[in-house]
Amino acid sequence: MADFTDWTHEQVRQLVDVEQVYAAYQAARTELAQRFAGSMAWKTVRGHQYLYRKRKVAWSSLGPRNSETEAAMRPSMMAGRG
């Protein structure tokens, strides 16, 4: 039978640090998966451009092209360059 020893204070501190880093990693990964789920595209309707987002099978409008929708589209465009 193997002998077990208590962990040092340094080992316990490192374990806590690793658990905290891993929890932050998981939260960031979940947020990125949600933020970049689906796709985005500009659609022209009656001469005006609108930003559309596709999630699963449904497209929905995020509004007409303006500074806000341009900013919403920017991360999607940057992700596609990878």
Cβ atoms 49, 43 nearer than 8 A: yes
For residue 64, list its beta bridge partners.
50
Model confidence pLDDT, tens digit, residues 2-44: 677 899 999 999 999 999 999 999 999 998 887 777 788 999 9
Average pLDDT, integer, range 44-61: 92
24-47 b/e with 16+ CB inside 10 Å = b? eeeeeeeeeeeeeebebeeeeeee
**48-55: strand order across its sheet:** 39-45, 48-55, 58-64
